[in-house]
Amino acid sequence: MSNVEISVVAGLFQSRSGNEAELAAVLARYVVLSRSVTGCRNIDLVTSTSTPGRFLVVEKWDDADAQRDHLNSEAMVTMATQASPLLTQPPDLELYDVISAHDLE
């Protein structure tokens, strides 16, 4: 197995009250479409058990270039366009350096 640089991005999305199901559907579609993109190692979508309407998308990419290329993809643009009116504020996006990351095969 070769050494691979992994780029991790996390996005925190807070739904407007009453739009939780619609936002969940938008984010779930984005996740499914993005998982098949070249360079994508995995994308997970989870929802908070303590804050209603809060969703977290965690993306792992082979490298920063693959992740950057995806930022302008149709799936990303569609998700951003559809999600924006459902949010209380812009998503909180953060880039992370990997200390320990593992993908199950």
pLDDT band of residue 105 (cuts 50, 70, 90) is: low
Q: What is the pLDDT of residues 35-67, one digit of tens each?
A: 999 999 999 999 999 999 999 999 999 988 999
* Mean pLDDT computed over 17-21: 98
Q: What is the pLDDT of residue 3?
A: 54
Three-state secondary structure string covering 22-46: HHHHHHHHHHHHHCCCCCEEEEEEE
> What separation in angstroms does the CA of 55 have from each of 29, 44, 61?
14, 10, 20
pLDDT band of residue 103 (cuts 50, 70, 90) is: low
For the chain, domains (ranges, CATH) are: 7-96 (3.30.70.100)
* Mean pLDDT computed over 66-70: 90
Question: How many Å apart are CA 101 and CA 54, to the nearest integer?
Answer: 23
List the beta bridge partners of residue 56.
12, 46
